[in-house]
């Protein structure tokens, strides 16, 4: 009896030709990381392109790719002391670490749908953030969790008062979720069905209650 074949992970197909398979891409990332340890920088163009190309597959890619990237460095992880990792350098000078291993995890259909759903409403989050910044003029917004003033734009995080998960699952109860999700602009997952996307965006615009909170307060709450 033929075994039920697992759907092939096609996300790395665009690397083929240059690499034999997904494992080869992963090994190359590991090699680049080890090499970078001499100087803590990633200098050659091929390695920079490689890292840029795997970022869309990170579960947190929406946030990782939200700002223009100028390069990569490496160093000890702040969240996992003792381990060595890549750090993205943004145009603003800000750095953010990421684990390349997380870019190679196979995502379930459900995960991909959730990613597409998040990407579809990202614009609403950004415009809420921009409006908050504008209205408050010189950052006089208070945090929805601790109530203290948010004094630095870098500190601001936009939070769903009713969680995203709840809204998304509520919406699916009456509308389901399409199986066809693809990667667009090497940036994120999108639903192929435009009408469905618009329906979800409208629903989110109507139902989501967004608020500004401190990044730290939000992280703390998630870990409680």
Q: Which residues bind Zn ion (CB under 5 A)?
A: 143, 145-146, 214, 217
Q: For residues 97 and 159, which CB has a smaller minimum distance to Zn ion in the complex?
A: 159
**Whole-angstrom distance, CA of residue 192 vs CA of residue 194:** 6
Q: What is the closest distance, in whole angstroms, from the C-beta atom of residue 139 to Zn ion in the complex?
A: 13
Residue at shortest CB range from Zn ion: 143
Q: Strand 95-98 vs strand 84-90: parallel, antiparallel, or unpaired?
A: antiparallel
Scanning the structure block, which residue is given the tokens 């490689």?
A: 50
Distance of CA 164 to the CA centre of its chain: 15
**Whole-angstrom distance, CA of residue 80 vs CA of residue 66:** 23
Q: What is the closest distance, in whole angstroms, from the C-beta atom of residue 147 to Zn ion in the complex?
A: 7
Q: For residues 32 and 143, which CB has a smaller minimum distance to Zn ion in the complex?
A: 143
Q: For residues 133 and 146, which CB has a smaller minimum distance to Zn ion in the complex?
A: 146
Q: In what order do the strands lie in the sheet with 95-98?
A: 69-76, 84-90, 95-98
Q: For residues 2 and 147, which CB has a smaller minimum distance to Zn ion in the complex?
A: 147
Question: Do 74 and 29 contact (CB within 8 A), yes or no?
Answer: no
Q: What is the closest distance, in whole angstroms, from the C-beta atom of residue 152 to Zn ion in the complex?
A: 12
Q: What is the closest distance, in whole angstroms, from the C-beta atom of residue 54 to Zn ion in the complex?
A: 33
């Amino acid at each position: 009896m033929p075994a039920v074949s697992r759907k092939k992970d096609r996300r790395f197909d665009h690397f083929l030709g240059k690499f034999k398979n997904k494992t080869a891409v992963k090994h190359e990332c590991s090699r680049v990381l080890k090499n970078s340890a001499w100087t803590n920088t990633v200098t050659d163009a091929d390695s920079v392109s490689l890292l840029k190309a795997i970022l869309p597959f990170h579960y947190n890619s929406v946030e990782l790719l939200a700002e223009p990237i100028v390069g990569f460095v490496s160093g000890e992880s702040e969240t996992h002391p003792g381990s060595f990792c890549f750090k993205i350098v943004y145009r603003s000078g800000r750095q953010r670490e990421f684990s390349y291993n997380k870019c190679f995890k196979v995502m379930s259909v459900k995960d991909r749908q959730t990613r597409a759903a998040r990407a579809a409403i990202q614009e609403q989050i950004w415009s809420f953030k921009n409006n908050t910044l504008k209205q408050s003029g010189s950052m006089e917004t208070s945090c929805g969790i601790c109530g203290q003033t948010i004094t630095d734009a870098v500190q601001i995080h936009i939070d769903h008062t009713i969680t995203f998960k709840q809204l998304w699952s509520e919406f699916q109860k009456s509308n389901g979720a399409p199986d066809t999700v693809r990667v667009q602009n090497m940036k994120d997952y999108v639903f192929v069905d435009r009408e469905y996307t618009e329906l979800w965006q409208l629903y989110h615009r109507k139902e989501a209650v967004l608020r500004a909170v401190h990044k730290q307060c939000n992280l703390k709450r998630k870990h409680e």
